[in-house]
Structure 1
Amino acid sequence: MGKFRVGTGWKMNHTLAMARDYAQALAAAERPEGIDLFVLPPATALTEVVRLLEGSGVRVGAQNAHWAEKGAWTGEISMTMVADAGATLIELGHSERRAHFGETDLDVNRKVRAAIDHGLIPLVCVGETGDDKRLGAAIETNARQARMAMAGLSHAEAAKVWLAYEPVWAIGEGGIPATPEDAKPVHAAIKRAVLDLVGVEPPVLYGGSVNPQNAEALAVVPEVDGLFVGRSAWTAQGLLQIATLAAQARKRG
């Protein structure tokens, strides 16, 4: 599956000056071996972060984009614009987009298709709500979201997609981090669902209140292929700390 992936989306945080400071610190720092780092700044800082991290090996992506090539979509950006800014990665289907902006599984599927067509790596977020979990539907919910996101892709196209398991109940300030025991069966189910659909076992990252206290335990779960970090990585030092902890834990086995 290649390197262990560790990255962060900044959500609606960081001005251009703050983004520059973050990118410069990350570019200058020693980065742990065996880790594929990525950052997803807001669209206003995307081009500048790409410029500052050029040649560093750190991937840069956007947090969202529309499936349409162009048109009357006020306030949106297209996959062409994301690629034109120099990004290589695109986050899609985050639970906040689904909950607050009404994005459906069909919307996510359209965006995955558009991202692939524009040479971007889709990072597709899936996750169950607290009610889904309470009613025993976590496995079914995540398998369905993953299958619908990747429906219609060829084997070769599906091999380019990353998935992130982000249980809704674990996200945000009041989130309760999933334990390795929580994450393991869901990651396995997501992989199995996609393998059955398109013949590819995708990398599945864990996201949802990842922090320095739980990063090591999550990083050594065999079904976990990376960590998608929130507020704990909103500084370059925070991202590097978690990446280093993950690398050390995996090296120890």
Structure 2
Amino acid sequence: MTMALLWIGTSWKMNKTLGEGLAYAETLLRALPSVNHRLQPFIAPPFTLLREVKQALSGSAVKVGAQNMHWQDAGAWTGEISPLMLADCGADFVELGHYERRRYFGETNHTVSLKTAAAVRHGIRPLVCVGETLAEREAGRAEDVLREQVSTALRGVGSRAQAVGIMFAYEPIWAIGESGSPADPNYADRQHTLIKRISKEILSTEVSVLYGGSVNMDNSSELINMKNIDGLFIGRSAWDAGDYIDLMGKVSDSIR
């Protein structure tokens, strides 16, 4: 039986010039021969670097994607990037609905749904970020929040969803950022189980769910060995290429 790949990757967020991004890609390329074949590396550079970083990693196992996109193919949407533009750059996936986008740029479950459907329509794998706040968790509302986020995101995906391979990243809001505290692996695993169950109710197939939220060298091994965690979406712990490679090595050594 073929074992599913474990997705291990990072978003660079608003970091790196072109030269810095290409240097990162070159370092990663040199290390790839030693990366466990069970791991699926992926990175999400800023849009200004996307085409060049994708070209630099062309022919390798690394998936390269974007951090956001608009739901329309074209139009008077100043400053926005369309799915057609991402496809033109060769994007393998697109990150959607990150909490920073929701909090600071007004994204809602509805707009994330529109973007998810647009990504699927254009054959770009959506990586949809979901997660509850600390207040919602303490009020016992985490399950309700995740059900609303997941079900709304999948509302308009249609029949192509399975072919494209929608993924979710469970990123509890209290676990992300410089001041975040990582989720207990057992708690994270339960939330992943929930996300998979909700997705299967809608799509009739199970989706992959990655964990994101203060992932580091100390907790990566325990997280990746949880039954329902299909990969890790890493933040600042992987912004340095050497650190990212070391983290993949740690995961590789620990997977059962």
Q: Normalising by the residue count of structure 2, what TM-score does the alignment of the two structures yield?
A: 0.95
Name the aligned partner's letter for residue 15 of structure 1.
Answer: T
Residue 56 of structure 1: aligned partner:
60
Kept in 2: contact 1:155–1:200 (CA 8 A): no
Residue 248 of structure 1: aligned partner:
253
CA drift of 1:218 comes to: 0.0
Name the aligned partner's letter for residue 252 of structure 2.
Answer: A
Alignment of 1:27-46 (within 5 A): 27-29=29-31, 30-46=34-50
Kept in 2: contact 1:62–1:87 (CA 8 A): yes
CA drift of 1:86 comes to: 1.2
What stretches of structure 2 of length at least 5 have no aligned partner? none
Instruction: Tell me which of 19, 22, 25 is aligned to 2:24.
Output: 22
Residue 154 of structure 2: aligned partner:
150
Q: Give, in whole Å, the separation in 1 of the partners of 2:134 and 2:223.
A: 20
CA drift of 1:155 comes to: 5.1
CA deviation digits over 1:193-237, x for unaligned, max 9? 111122111100000000000000000000100000000000111
Alignment of 1:45-194 (within 5 A): 45-154=49-158, 156-158=160-162, 160-194=165-199
Counting matched residue pairs gives 251
Secondary structure in 2 matching 1:48: helix
Secondary structure in 2 matching 1:98: helix
Between 168-177 and 231-240, the greater mean CA deviation after superposition: 231-240
Q: Give, in whole Å, the separation in 2 of the partners of 1:139 and 1:184.
A: 13
The yes-or-no answer on 1:199 pairing with 2:204 is: yes
CA deviation digits over 1:157-196, x for unaligned, max 9? 1451010000000000000011112201111111111111
Secondary structure in 2 matching 1:204: strand
What stretches of structure 1 of length at least 5 have no aligned partner? none
The alignment yields a C-alpha RMSD, in angstroms, of 1.2
Name the aligned partner's letter for residue 65 of structure 1.
Answer: M
Q: Give, in whole Å, the separation in 2 of the partners of 1:183 and 1:123.
A: 17
Secondary structure in 1 matching 2:193: helix
Q: Give, in whole Å, the separation in 2 of the partners of 1:108 and 1:122.
A: 10
Secondary structure in 1 matching 2:148: helix
CA drift of 1:17 comes to: 1.0
CA drift of 1:94 comes to: 0.3
- Percent identity of the aligned residues? 45
The yes-or-no answer on 1:226 pairing with 2:231 is: yes
Q: Give, in whole Å, the separation in 1 of the partners of 2:157 and 2:53.
A: 30
Q: Give, in whole Å, the separation in 2 of the partners of 1:238 and 1:142.
A: 31
Secondary structure in 1 matching 2:69: coil
Q: Give, in whole Å, the separation in 2 of the partners of 1:149 and 1:4.
A: 23
Q: Give, in whole Å, the separation in 1 of the partners of 2:45 and 2:13.
A: 7
Q: Normalising by the residue count of structure 1, what TM-score does the alignment of the two structures yield?
A: 0.96
Q: Where does structure 1 differ by over 3 angstroms across 4 or more consecutive aligned residues?
A: none
